[in-house]
Amino acid sequence: MPYFYTEDDVRIYYKETGDKDGKPVIGLHGWNSTHAMFDDLFAGMQDYRCITLDFRGVNRSSLPKSGLSMGRLAKDVEELIIHLGLIGVTLIGYSMGASVLYKYIDLFGTGRLERTIICEMSPKLLNDDEWHEGLGQGKDDPMDDIVAVDKMLDDYDAYYRERALQNNPQLAELPPRMRNNLFRGMLAPNPGYVMAAFYLSFVLQDYRSMLHKFDVPTGIFFADPGSVYQPKTAYYLAEKIPAKTKVVIFDGCTHLFGLEKPDLFVKEVRAFMAEDI
């Protein structure tokens, strides 16, 4: 299995599939997920050089003593790109992975990139009197979102199950045994303290002031009605990003549209990649 070591000596797992000579695409996974969340998408993109990684502290990557922040994850992505000698990369960030994408461009710009795709991530998660496009589809109390970290540190498994059912109510329709097996599979590769640190880091970000740094074509993929964010946030991003953008709305879906409509996800990503924009 391929690994590389970061400058602070953390071993990061990555996986490559597809055409070694194809255009490089890197998938950045979501919170409480792993590189495997892109398996279905990249199975339909084997004419590209498809690369995924487990963020530090997740699954096959090593547990670090520090660096559990969006900024450090973005640096790990930059080091992976350099390690593989890539240019003209498309970064696809899904949920928390899109927070890493925002931070990557904020820190490193787009010199190594050709395109980006933002999947279901608001540029600011904490709601306030003037911003209603954060967590809970703009309805969460920001203090509740911060206090949630304490609940995670107390009993992460219980917190995650409760939050997952709240954000994705269709999970309640699964037979209990199947639902419990699903949760066990999702929780096993992700230590609770790592997830709590990631959550606190991405919840505190406000990327609105850096959106002008997006100067490569950008796909903006959101769900309608959604379950965590609002589809209208896609149009906010399209207005604020100066580069050419393409908004794709997955109708009848929740935050997990990539799992709910995997074939359509592949189709829309390929369509965006093929567009001359």
The residue whose two tokens read 């002031």 is 209
Cβ count within 10 A of residue 210: 16
State the pLDDT at residue 193: 93
Question: What element of type H or E holds 98?
Answer: helix 96-108
**CA–CA distance, 42 with 23 (Å, rounded to integer):** 13
Instruction: Give the strand order in the sheet containing 24-28.
Output: 3-5, 11-18, 49-53, 24-28, 89-94, 113-119, 218-225, 245-253
State the pLDDT at residue 249: 98
Within-domain flag for 223 = yes
CB 41 within 8 Å of CB 266: yes
**CA–CA distance, 4 with 13 (Å, rounded to integer):** 7
Rg, the chain, Cα only = 18
State the pLDDT at residue 241: 98
Within-domain flag for 111 = yes
Q: State which residues form the domain around 38.
A: 3-124+206-274
Domain count, the chain: 1
* 242 pLDDT more than 80: yes
Within-domain flag for 105 = yes
Buried b (16+ CB within 10 A) or exposed e, 1-16: eeebebeeebebbbbe
**CA–CA distance, 138 with 159 (Å, rounded to integer):** 20
- Main-chain phi, psi angles of 195, to 5 degrees: -65, -40
Within-domain flag for 77 = yes
Mean pLDDT of the chain: 95
Average confidence (pLDDT) over 245-250: 98
Q: What is the pLDDT of residues 126-184, one digit of tens each?
A: 999 999 999 999 999 999 999 999 999 999 999 988 888 887 777 888 888 888 887 88
State the pLDDT at residue 222: 98
State the pLDDT at residue 74: 98
CB 196 within 8 Å of CB 235: no
Q: Which structure tokens are listed for 95?
A: 């949920």
* 1 pLDDT more than 80: no
Average confidence (pLDDT) over 230-241: 98
Average confidence (pLDDT) over 50-65: 96
Q: Which structure tokens are listed for 273?
A: 């990649």
Within-domain flag for 53 = yes
Within-domain flag for 67 = yes
Within-domain flag for 20 = yes
Average confidence (pLDDT) over 229-250: 98
Q: What is the pLDDT of residues 82-131, one digit of tens each?
A: 999 999 999 999 999 999 999 999 999 999 999 999 999 999 999 999 99
Which CATH number belongs to the domain containing residue 222 in this structure? 3.40.50.1820
Give the distance, in angstroms, between the CA of residue 247 and the centroid of all CA atoms in the same chain.
17
Within-domain flag for 197 = no
